[in-house]
Amino acid sequence: MQQQGTQALADVAARTNAVIDELKGLEGPLLPILHGVQKEFGCVPRDALPVIADALNLSRAEVHGVVSFYHDYRSEPAGRHVLKLCRAEACQSMGGDAIADRLQELLGISFHETAKDGSVTLEPVYCLGLCACAPSAMLDGVVIGRLDEGKAQEIVAEVRT
């Protein structure tokens, strides 16, 4: 068991170091490295933090402080799909709150939660720049405007397949 743990740790370190090697030549490399690590693992694993800190000559607390400051970085991988729903004013003005309630009901989860079957993670986002096509959402990077009951149903069907 312990051996397996050590091996997993070594694996995280090796993959993290590969990301670091590619990006550490940049000016101000920490955010690009964290984006790279998140792309590699689907999250920023705890065990990656000391590796990054060591490579950039920072304290672990400093790296942790940066990771926890930004909304985008996850400590656990998200579900297979990520649904971001805009919660800002323009979307509110077009009934965004009601659509948000409906989607939470249909998906059976609240914001910041992942469905038990791991199918989808629901996140709030404050503006996708689609304010003239409100209410809006982004599903796995694909933008969706003028959300209504029909589109909500389509989204739910898509994440469940």
Alpha helices, DSSP H only, in the chain?
A: 2-23, 30-41, 48-56, 60-69, 89-93, 96-107, 149-160
Alpha helices, DSSP H only, in 57-147?
A: 60-69, 89-93, 96-107
Neighbours of 55 (CB within 10 A): 18
Which of the stretches 12-20, 85-93, 102-110, 111-119 binds another protein when contact is defined by CB under 8 A? 85-93
Is 43 annotated as contributing to ligand binding?
Answer: no
CB of 141 to another protein, least distance (A): 6
> At which residue do the structure tokens 């590699």 appear?
40
CB of 44 to another protein, least distance (A): 10
The answer for 83, left when phi > 0, alpha when psi is -120 to 50, beta otherwise, is beta
Closest residue by Cα to residue 103 from 136, 140, 67: 136
Which of the stretches 8-16, 75-83, 107-115, 132-140 binds another protein when contact is defined by CB under 8 A? 132-140
Q: Does 132 interact with another protein (rule: CB under 8 A)?
A: yes
> Tokens representing 96?
């965004």
Q: Binding residue for another protein (CB under 8 A) from 13, 53, 66, 82?
A: 66
81 beta partners: 120
Start-to-end CA distance of the chain, whole Å, equals 35
Q: Does 157 interact with another protein (rule: CB under 8 A)?
A: no
Q: Binding residue for another protein (CB under 8 A) from 13, 94, 106, 115?
A: 94
CB of 156 to another protein, least distance (A): 18
Parallel, antiparallel or unpaired: strands 120-125 and 81-86: parallel
Which of the stretches 13-21, 25-33, 103-111, 114-122 binds another protein when contact is defined by CB under 8 A? 25-33
Point out which residues bind another protein (CB under 8 A). Answer: 27-32, 34-35, 56, 65-66, 69-73, 88-94, 125-134, 136, 138, 141-146
Annotated binding site for [2Fe-2S] cluster: 86, 91, 127, 131
